[in-house]
């Protein structure tokens, strides 16, 4: 037998599905530290432009918000401006010129997620795409049972309002 024949296993698709699932599960990563960072959305878009495109008001009031949606929006906008001033950010003249922000992570997705549909199904049983926001789809594969979420103070600027970079 040639060496290349020994390195190729062609019978995997013929194994029972339960055994294939078990093999895929063993290929999943173990516990990870998932560091979330807040960054302007790409392509960069301001709150005003986002409101124009979507026909919705920023910020979006969660269903758990107390009071009316209008009260929530007014209070949240005030909080963002106050936080920017306290943290030394450059406040903007109006909320429409604030950059829309999203949460990103450098944590790699489970490497088997792109192998085939079967491996992706195994990944999606343990992990979910998480941490989306208005204008930004969830993109970080996260397993709350084994992963640790890290929100470092140097990587976050929640509520920090800054003018766009020139």
Print the domain residue range for 41. 32-60+67-109+129-150
79 Cβ contact partners less than 8 Å away, ≥ 6 residues apart: 159
The number of folded domains in the chain is 1
State whether residue 73 is helix, strand or coil: helix
DSSP 136: B
Q: Do the domain assignments include residue 86?
A: yes
- Note the pLDDT of residue 156: 44
Q: Do the domain assignments include residue 6?
A: no
- Note the pLDDT of residue 80: 66
pLDDT along the chain (166 residues), means of 10: 67 94 95 87 74 76 75 75 56 63 85 95 94 79 94 52 38
Q: Do the domain assignments include residue 54?
A: yes
Q: Compute the distance between CA of residue 21 and CA of residue 17 in angstroms, rounded to an integer.
A: 6
Q: Do the domain assignments include residue 21?
A: no
98 neighbors 92 (Cβ within 8 angstroms): yes
77 Cβ contact partners less than 8 Å away, ≥ 6 residues apart: 59, 95
Q: Do the domain assignments include residue 118?
A: no
Given phi > 0 = left and psi -120 to 50 = alpha, else beta, which region is 12? alpha
pTM given for the model:
0.63
29 neighbors 109 (Cβ within 8 angstroms): no
Q: Do the domain assignments include residue 143?
A: yes
Q: Do the domain assignments include residue 5?
A: no
Q: Do the domain assignments include residue 17?
A: no
């Amino acid at each position: 037998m040639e060496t290349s024949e020994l390195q190729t296993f062609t019978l995997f698709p013929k194994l029972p599905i339960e055994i294939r699932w078990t093999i895929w599960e063993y290929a999943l990563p173990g516990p990870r530290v998932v560091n979330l960072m807040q960054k302007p959305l790409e392509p960069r878009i301001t709150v005003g432009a986002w409101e124009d495109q979507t026909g919705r008001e920023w910020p979006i009031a969660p269903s758990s918000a107390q009071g009316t949606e209008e009260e929530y929006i007014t209070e949240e906008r005030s909080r963002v401006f106050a936080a920017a001033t306290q943290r030394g950010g450059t406040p903007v003249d109006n909320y429409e010129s604030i950059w829309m922000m999203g949460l990103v992570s450098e944590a790699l997705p489970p490497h088997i997620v792109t192998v085939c549909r079967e491996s992706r199904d195994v990944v999606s049983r343990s992990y979910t795409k998480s941490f989306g926001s208005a204008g930004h789809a969830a993109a970080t594969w996260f397993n709350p049972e084994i992963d640790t979420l890290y929100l470092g103070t140097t990587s976050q600027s929640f509520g920090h309002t800054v003018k766009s970079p020139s």
